[in-house]
Structure 1
């Protein structure tokens, strides 16, 4: 094994995960009184919570992720793209400002696009998904997808433990792919630290949540997770990169187009997502989260299978199976439950 492989093997990875979890939990616990005072999310007609709850614990998740990733990268001699670190910090600051005083939609989008663009356009020219496309066109499409992904994580972070149920299976799958040699080491470091940080945050966000991530957490989580998935696609695994976040992609994208078709103000807060409709239809929050988590585990298994098989004979059925599983869950969430 090479020195880098040794440094990112199972034992160091699990240690880094545990340290990230501990840092995230400690910062969340210590910051909660301040968030209670200065960043209180008060319930409204579109909220899933019923009592005023502090938001902004994403500070802990992002801090733990960046600290552990940076320290581990130095020890393992693994370069982390500087543009990604800077963009993550900037987008977190934008999110924190929006948590305190709501920013105009256009200003948020411009700043998000600048952050995503800095990451995408500083990547090596050899990093390609569809080499037949002109590089500028492919990078432009990735920029649009990146901005959408950053926002959809924010849109979907509307229920206790929802983002934990999404991010933990995805990052755990990315860690496993790294151990198997199918993902770049910088991505493995980030995914591992992010997984640990989310686990450290989870006890504070379980129903009924004592604190929320806030935009300061959900937006940069979207950036970091999106970059890891992009790296997976750049390594010749676009099907796996699509399968891993497929539930979030389906719920948010279908909801967006339905709202546009109804000529609604699609950029404003709402309760139209499938997971929100599920709670309105009689699903208890733990049940919704449990089904989303189980679905994400199934998608992770399918994604890993496509990578390891390396065959269209496996990839196509896996994509179909993933789509069927997601459609089944979305349909369940859309229908009233009867006791």
Structure 2
């Protein structure tokens, strides 16, 4: 048992935030020299900006989160601690010299597969053959990792998504609904993102880069999968619902138009919002507020433990997401 888990979770977050901030300060001159993100068709920034702060975020998460998570044994998170650096390395190379699409997806799939297929056989979601379920989880995990990367195109956007999700996972862990390793990793990732936030607020001084967004996607996706394995599938869907729908709907729309969906673009709803007159802070603020609302719905789902309630809560969540997507897709009117 963990003595005073709430105090320990706070300590994890504070230590991760401090470590991340210090690492960013130390790394920034190096990133400025070797890892500049130059404006392209997808960018919201106007001048070259150093990227790669994800090294600090992921490093702080693994060091601090791993130290506290492993007090109950390192075995449950061993493959995660192999896969996350592997995915980070893929992202780092891609930040410096872009990797072709197919090799990039293969390498990402290997990393996600390590986490999915190494999980104990008794962790199940549906009464279907184990190999089929794990294959579907591999596909879903690969998509989740990439959608977090796709959505990391605006200052503080990933902070506005990651902090509410991880903070909620920590609360679930403190109430006994999530195992300690997942709770500790969530607390560390939440703290690390808070340590990164001051450097990424508009106008950002540094970006995460693929070295950050891809591993963050895997860490968040793993936490949500662990929550689903506890029987809380609706809650695991509600928490990232905005990201899921913005990224997925945008992908399907681009495929329907026969556009190269893998290429850089500015057609995500949050990007269209800035083109439609919404300030960056307004967009991020509204996404953050929506994520808080989704966290409340996920919490209600866990408290009620009812299939019927889960259905109703998912419909409410979908309605809230649809409202924001519609709002972002239209030019901002005066006073809105």
| Bin of the TM-score, shorter chain as denominator length | over 0.9
> 1:255-274 alignment to 2 at 5 Å?
255-274=250-269
Q: CA deviation at 1:185?
A: 1.3
Alignment partner of 1:324 is 2:324: no
Matched, 1:223 2:218: yes
User: Does residue 295 in structure 1 map to residue 278 in structure 2?
Assistant: no
Following the alignment from structure 2 to structure 1, what is the Cα–Cα distance between the partners of residues 72 and 6? 13
Match of 1:90 among 86, 91, 94: 86
Please give the alpha-carbon distance, in whole angstroms, between the structure 2 residues aligned to 1:18 and 1:37: 29
* Alignment correspondent of 1:59: 55
Deviation, 1:309, is 1.0
- Identify unmatched segments of 5+ residues in structure 2: none
Aligned with 1:36 (options 20, 32, 38): 32
Matched residue of 2:197: which SS?
Answer: helix
Aligned counterparts of 1:116 and 1:319: Cα–Cα separation in 2: 26
Check conservation: 2:49, 2:206, Cα contact below 8 A.
Answer: yes
Report if aligned partners of 2:297, 2:317 keep a CA contact under 8 Å in 1.
yes
* Residue 186 of structure 1: how far off its partner (Å): 1.3
Aligned to 1:206: 201
Match of 2:332 in 1: 337
Q: Deviation per CA, 1:26-48: give whole Å up to 9, x if none.
A: 10111111101000011123310
Give unmatched runs, 5+ long, in structure 1: none
CA drift of 1:129 comes to 0.4
What CA deviation, in whole Å up to 9, does each residue of 1:293-324 have, x standing for no partner? 00000000000110111012421221111000
1:298-309 correspondence runs (5 A): 298-309=293-304
Tell me, yes or no, if the aligned pair for 2:269 and 2:325 is still in contact at 8 Å.
yes
54, 65, 68: which one pairs with 1:69?
65
Secondary structure of the equivalent of 1:266?
Answer: coil
Give 1:77 shift.
4.7
Q: Pick from 227, 230, 245: which aligns with 1:232? A: 227
Cα deviations by residue, 1:83-105 (Å, 9 ceiling, x for unpaired): 11000000000000000001111
How far apart, CA to CA, are the structure 2 residues paired with 1:229 and 1:333?
26
**CA deviation vs aligned residue, 1:10-32 (integer Å, no higher than 9, x gap):** 00110111000000011011111
Taking the aligned partners of 1:111 and 1:337, their CA distance within structure 2 comes to 41
Question: Could you tell me which of 50, 57, 64 is aligned with 2:46?
Answer: 50
1:250 aligns with 2:245: yes
Deviations 1:258-317 (A, max 9, x none): 000000001111001000000000000000000000000000000011011101242122
In the alignment, structure 1 residue 114 sits paired with structure 2 residue 115: no
- The separation in 1 between residues aligned to 2:312 and 2:155, in whole angstroms, is 33
RMSD across aligned positions (CA): 1.0
Matching of residues 179-194 of structure 1 within 5 Å: 179-194=174-189
SS at match of 1:81: helix
Deviation at 1:80, TM superposition (A): 4.0
The answer as to whether partners of 1:73 and 1:79 remain within 8 angstroms in 2 is: no
Deviations 1:164-185 (A, max 9, x none): 0000000000000001111111
In the alignment, does 2:309 pair up with 1:314?
yes
What is the CA–CA distance in structure 2 between the aligned matches of 1:319 and 1:268, rounded to whole Å? 31
Cα offsets for 1:131-170 (capped at 9, x unmatched)? x211010000000000000000000000000000000000
- State the alpha-carbon separation in 1 of the partners of residues 326 and 69 from structure 2: 43
